Structure 1
Amino acid sequence: MLTTIGFDADDTLWQNESFFRLTQDRFTDLLSDHAETNHLHDRLLAAERRNLGHYGFGIKGFTLSMIETAIEVTEGRVPASVISEILAAGREMLRHPVDLLPHARAAVEALAAEFKVLVITKGDLLDQERKVAQSGLGDLFHGVEIVSDKTPEVYRRIFARHGTGASQAMMVGNSLKSDVLPAIAAGGWGVHVPHGITWALEHAEPPQAEPRFHSLPSLETLPDLVGQIKATHNL
């Protein structure tokens, strides 16, 4: 039966990717004299992909990838004022207030009354800690795990430390690639709650034939789903 439920943070509990898209639009405007929008988007995504192993996930890595792309597309002639604007945009993202998604608080409160609930998220340590604190949800969670990547082994380790193992755990998130597939591979349940905007590097195909996979339109019906799973496995 279920004992532990993990929640992704960004774009599951609160808005995140929309701020990246707004900053990317600002970035393309700054460099519009040097490259077309689609070309800039492709170059930036390529930089993000190759830099993940160096900088990890999050705003700081994104900012460094924007600077690297600006240097590349201008062949080293990018004005210092543009670099300054990119840095300012990154700092602005790090200061952005936390905007909870619909039903996030109600879902966490309902499940925290009966289960161990965790935040399991990728990204910059300081930024993710700030967002958890400012979300107003922090006191509801039994643990917060900020990891460099989400793999089956990471989930096994976290659910063993905080709960009764991955086989009695569920991971809820907007990313099939990071939240759902590795949690199922670890032996747990994976619940996909799609967000309107998904980063290109997080796309994956849903495991429709997997019995421990579920998809919900929002967090509103998550407590009902958990109740159904609990009832079924108590039979």
Structure 2
Amino acid sequence: MNKKANYDDASHILVVDDDDRIRTLLKRYLAESGFRASIAADATQARSLIAAFDFDLFIFDVMMPGETGFSLTKFVRDISNVPILLLTARGLPEDRIEGLEAGADDYLSKPFEPRELLLRVNSLLRRSKPAQLSRKEVQFGDCNFSIGRGELRKNGELVRLTAGEASLLRALAQKPREPISREALAQQSDAGMERSVDVQVTRLRKKIEEDPRAPIYLQTVRGVGYALMAD
């Protein structure tokens, strides 16, 4: 796969499609092309992720059970200018018009060539880059975490993180000081299950906190989940 160029930090893309095979293929292809990709099976799951994390681009399937991609597009456009690419199995002109009227930035009919999807994604990101640059680094105490590189330094020294720890810390760092649910963290990070999130948090605290039993920076928010108390 050709790696994505001209982006210091990997852009974060949310793919929403009720077809498990398509979701999995798109996530793998985008990851191999240098992007960070999250997936959701429906609009309800997508709304939860959108509330918890910052994204640089959305890819929505139009025809989904329950809430359609058109409705989800309208929801996003009311709260954000993040570019939206719609996917549909129907290439009817009226569908394209409805999607664009809802606020979509581009439209791609299924089946599509992965290379064309990548070209459209890069084009949308280039146009939106000035408005979509996300926070690159967060500081908390003696620690500095690079969101793009997934690197943690404490007092200037590199701290070794597992892939799971890095993905969890990246998810928390995107929304500093804001509580994020265990469910959302499990979907976004490599933890997989909510219980695994707790395990990863315990490990991270040992690397971040002076006293892991009395955490200052990686705090538990009772009844919600966790929050990274960045400076």
Q: TM-score range by the shorter chain?
A: 0.3 to 0.5
Higher relative CO (Cα under 8 Å, sequence separation at least 6) belongs to: 1
- Greater helix proportion: 1
Computing the radius of gyration from Cα coordinates, the structure with the larger value is 1
Higher strand share: 2
